[in-house]
């Protein structure tokens, strides 16, 4: 994958800086007797991409598999691991962790004992960059002083694009996770998942294959909500690969919705088919570029792109792989 070679140095750099700013991984949780999986506190997502114009950034922390103990943590702005300053987020009431101000405590987070699985707390900040010649920057949020849980995703990264261009979403599946994409299975037990194959340049990728599923597959892979308001142009690009054959059917379609709620059954909402704008793989597991897919005509604060996999028969199924999904916008 084209960005994979940069992932390890970045992760190592963040680890060093976060240790330097006094982040810790917390203490092990005390589990109830009927709980087998550990309690985890984590960011909901690993990163987001925004522009340098005035906008808001929401940082969401959630608890997974809570037990009988209270879970607490501090939300931290890791200035030492960020190129954007804390002032760019208009945060005035933060407390510096140390004299050199490489980290700031933003909030104390508490989930009570017996909290609902997946309970969340969100913090919204207004991003304003008033530089005369702005450049792309990064802001890093972290969790520290965690008690009653293990730490899942320890950092949340805000990618701030230079004025004029912004990536509204980017998914390359290099961490072998579908996030920030979300899978929704309408039917069948064969769903979207990440997969790898030795020798394939784009491994890992997202994949769906309904061959010999328990019923005909109807499975969606959907972006998070995209705010496309006010941009001159919005473009979708991705790689796609097809294997096997489904009675001459393509088996993968691409849709856009402006009324999807972000979590429900996509069949209950309005989707516009944009598959005729896309270049699809002809087969033989050959990855091809989708081409620049113009979706500027879909404007709103909650625009979703969905990849819908279907099949015509239990024994008739194509296998589809998608990778390097990017929606970018020009101001």
pLDDT in tens, the chain (331 residues): 322 222 333 333 344 444 444 455 555 444 433 447 899 999 987 888 776 665 788 999 999 999 999 999 999 999 999 999 999 898 888 999 988 899 999 999 999 999 999 999 999 998 876 554 457 789 999 999 999 999 987 799 998 876 667 889 999 998 899 999 999 999 999 999 999 875 556 779 999 999 998 999 999 999 999 999 988 899 999 999 999 989 889 999 999 999 999 999 999 999 999 999 999 999 999 999 999 999 999 999 999 999 999 999 888 899 999 999 999 998 7
- Residue 34: CB atoms within 10 Å: 7
On whether the CB atoms of residues 249 and 312 are closer than 8 A, the answer is yes
- Omega into 204 within 30° of 0, i.e. cis? yes
CA dihedral 187, 193, 198, 200 (to 10 degrees): 90
Tokens 């088996």 belong to 251
Report the chain's C-alpha Rg in angstroms: 21
Residue 133: predicted pLDDT: 47
Question: Sign of the CA dihedral 68, 70, 75, 81?
Answer: negative
Which residue, 276, 281, 309, 317, is CA-closest to 293? 276
Strand partners, 22: none
Residue 37: predicted pLDDT: 86
d(CA 123, CA 269): 29
- Residue 16: CB atoms within 10 Å: 12
Residue 31: predicted pLDDT: 41
CA atoms within a 13 Å half-sphere pointing along the CA-CB vector of 291: 11
Beta strand pairing status for 233-243 and 293-294?
Answer: antiparallel
Following DSSP, what letter does each residue of 25-47 receive, concatenated? ---PPPPPTT--SPPEEEESSSE
Domains present along the chain, CATH in parentheses: 4-163 (2.60.40.2030), 182-330 (2.60.120.200)
d(CA 198, CA 202): 10
Tokens 């009675």 belong to 247
- SS3 annotation, 137-178: EEEEEEEEEEECCEECCCEEEEEEECCCEEEEEEECCCCCCC
d(CA 127, CA 48): 13
Q: What is the SS3 assignment for 63? A: strand
């Amino acid at each position: 994958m084209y960005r994979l070679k940069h992932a390890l140095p970045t992760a190592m750099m963040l680890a060093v800086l976060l240790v330097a700013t006094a982040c810790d991984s917390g203490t092990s949780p005390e589990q109830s007797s009927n709980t087998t999986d550990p309690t985890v506190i984590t960011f909901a997502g690993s990163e987001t991409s925004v522009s340098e114009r005035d906008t808001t950034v929401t940082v969401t922390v959630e608890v997974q598999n809570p037990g009988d103990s209270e879970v607490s943590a501090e939300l931290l702005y890791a200035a030492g691991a960020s190129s954007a300053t804390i002032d760019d987020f208009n945060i005035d009431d933060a407390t510096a962790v140390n004299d050199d101000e490489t980290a700031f405590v933003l909030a104390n987070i508490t989930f009570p004992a017996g909290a609902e699985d997946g309970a969340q707390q969100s913090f919204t900040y207004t991003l304003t960059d008033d530089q005369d010649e702005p450049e792309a920057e990064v802001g890093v949020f972290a969790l520290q002083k965690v008690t009653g849980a293990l730490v899942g995703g320890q950092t949340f990264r805000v990618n701030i694009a230079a004025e004029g261009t912004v990536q509204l979403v980017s998914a390359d599946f290099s961490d072998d996770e579908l996030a920030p994409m979300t899978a929704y299975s309408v039917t069948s037990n064969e769903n979207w998942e990440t997969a790898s194959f030795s020798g394939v340049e784009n491994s890992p990728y997202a994949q769906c294959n309904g061959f010999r599923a328990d019923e005909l597959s109807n499975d969606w892979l959907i972006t998070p909500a995209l705010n496309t308001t006010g941009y001159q142009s919005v473009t979708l690009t991705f790689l796609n690969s097809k294997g096997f054959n489904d009675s001459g059917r393509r088996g993968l379609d691409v849709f856009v919705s402006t009324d999807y709620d972000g979590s429900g059954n996509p069949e209950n909402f309005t989707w516009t088919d944009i598959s005729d704008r896309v270049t699809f793989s002809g087969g033989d597991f050959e990855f091809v570029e989708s081409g620049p897919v113009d979706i500027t005509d879909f404007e709103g604060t909650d625009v979703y792109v969905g990849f819908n996999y279907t099949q015509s028969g239990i024994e008739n199924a194509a296998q589809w792989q998608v990778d390097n999904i990017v929606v970018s916008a020009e101001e």
